[in-house]
Amino acid sequence: MKSQDQDQSLAIAAPAHPAAALDGNDGTTQSVTLESPIKRGGQDIHIITVRRPKAGALRGTSLVNLVQLDVASLQTVLPRVTDPMISAPEVANLEPADLLALGAAVASFFMTKAERAALQTA
């Protein structure tokens, strides 16, 4: 079983993923460039914007599971906070590196401003 310190270090380390970048100064969105684009119809989706989730987008999930990048929790939340919206089956078909990048973007929204600032100066 993980201690709370281990859980917090995971949350702090998560946004350092190179494919995720904060958009704007307010920190309400992050853009993630996918290693393998999502193919939808005749188009390829290369960049996904992840919005800071509100409480309603988190319903039916555990915050601890999200911070730990639990796949089932990400399949629930990512369709609610992505633009363009990606469906649960599309999340299930993501490459592992892309799932990690999107999950890191979601997990980063659980950090305080001070934690994000500490990461940016490191």
Q: Rounded distance, CA 39 to CA 47, Å?
A: 12
Q: Rounded distance, CA 68 to CA 113, Å?
A: 20
* Domain spans in the chain, listed from the N-terminal domain onward: 17-110
Q: Which residue has the higher pLDDT, 3 or 73?
A: 73
State the average pLDDT for the chain: 82
Q: Which residue has the higher pLDDT, 92 or 7?
A: 92
* Best CA proximity match to 63, nearest among 111, 15, 119, 115: 111
The fraction of the chain above a pLDDT of 70, given in percent, is: 78
pTM of the prediction?
Answer: 0.76
State yes or no: pLDDT of 107 exceeds 70: yes
State yes or no: pLDDT of 62 exceeds 70: yes
* Best CA proximity match to 17, nearest among 82, 79, 91, 105: 105
